[in-house]
Amino acid sequence: MLMAITRGVSPRITECELTHVTREPINFQRAQTQHQQYEELLVELGCKLIKLPAESELPDSVFVEDTAVVLDELAVITRPGAESRRAETGSIAAVLKQYRKLFYIKPPGTLDGGDVLQISKSLYVGLSQRSNQQGIEQFHKILSSFGYSVTAVTLHDCLHLKSAVTQVADNTLLINRQWVDDKVFGNMRFIDVSPTEPFAANAVRIGNTLIYPSAFPMTHQKLVAQSIDLRTVDASELAKAEGGVTCCNLIFKV
């Protein structure tokens, strides 16, 4: 069974952390509606939801992906790079301890789950403004005894690694090569985002289906041309908070 942890949108979402985008007004009610539709799609694709209530004092807390990395054998509770987000991890750990043995990133390390891309037993971690070298080294030390490799990846001009690249099919990555070097991923096949859609590389893969933002029609056409099954969602309000479709869930098997 696939489980998916989600959390409601904080009414303080307008106070979210921003790094690479300009602050715009966020319609809270519309963000709630879009997030509910996203959750409904997760259920349609076979996930059992664990819906956590909104954290009114934590503006970014809907982005649960950043609080943990959940693998088959364990879960790593992160230490988010933005200090304002570190209180988000406690409620996530309380849920995950029911399903996994927990490990923790400790100071001075920082790690955001949005910087972690898993391809089988290989984990690629963005060396970003949110995930530092100490955090990546701790992550490697935790995972090495479980047979995983960890590779640090340099980023340019984006918040997280999964802003720049995600897996969309077996042996296939959707990528913005302006933000990350493809060579680090070895012999993977690549689909490039449309040059006019730099934020279009973020997608959620569930089985053989992608959850994909409706905001990127040109890249959408490229994916369809490669016979990839897509389900689109309107994620425009949370995109103003520098969020993507991967950010709003923690999916794992039980």
Q: Give residue-wise pLDDT tens across range 187-244.
A: 999 999 999 999 999 999 999 999 999 999 999 999 999 999 999 999 999 999 999 9
Q: Which of 245, 242, 248, 202 is nearest to 17 (CA)?
A: 242
The average confidence (pLDDT) of the chain is 98
Task: Respond yes or no on whether the N-terminal peptide bond of residue 217 is cis (omega within 30° of 0).
Answer: no
Whole-structure pTM value:
0.98
Residue 219: which H helix or E strand, with range?
helix 217-225
| Residue 19 vs residues 58, 79, 86, 111, 193: alpha-carbon distances, Å | 17, 18, 17, 16, 21
Q: What pLDDT band is residue 70 in, cutting at 50, 70 and 90?
A: very high
Task: Report the pLDDT value the prediction gives residue 157, as an integer from 0 to 100.
Answer: 95
What local confidence, expressed as pLDDT, does residue 158 receive? Answer: 97
Please pick, among 16, 47, 158, 247, the residue that the annotation labels catalytic. Answer: 247
At residue 145 the predicted structure's pLDDT band, cuts being 50, 70 and 90, is very high
Q: Which residues have CB under 8 Å from 94's CB, separation 6+?
A: none
Active site residue 20: no
- Confidence class of residue 81 from pLDDT cuts 50, 70 and 90? very high
pLDDT of residue 76: 99
The band of 57, judged by pLDDT with boundaries at 50, 70 and 90, is very high
- The token pair that represents 76 in the structure block: 């790593």
Average pLDDT over residues 162-185: 98
Exactly one of 16, 47, 158, 160 is catalytic; name it.
160
pLDDT at 103: 98
Give me the mean pLDDT over the 117-136 stretch: 98
DSSP secondary structure of 98-151: TTSEEEE--TT--B-GGGEEEETTEEEEEESSSS-HHHHHHHHHHHHTTT-EEE
* Sheet of strand 116-119: strand arrangement: 116-119, 122-127, 149-154
Section 20-44 average pLDDT: 98
High-pLDDT (> 90) share of the chain, %: 100
**Would you state the pLDDT for residue 23?**
97
Per-residue confidence (pLDDT) for residue 14, from 0 to 100: 97
Set out the domains of the chain in order of their start, with CATH numbers: 2-253 (3.75.10.10)
Looking at residue 192, what DSSP letter applies? E
Q: Cβ distance 5 to 249 under 8 Å?
A: yes
Closest CA to 150 of 106, 119, 171: 119
218 φ, ψ (degrees, to nearest 5): -70, -45
247 catalytic residue (yes or no): yes
* Burial status of residue 249 (CB atoms within 10 A of its CB: 0-12, 13-18, 19 or more): buried
CB 115 within 8 Å of CB 130? yes
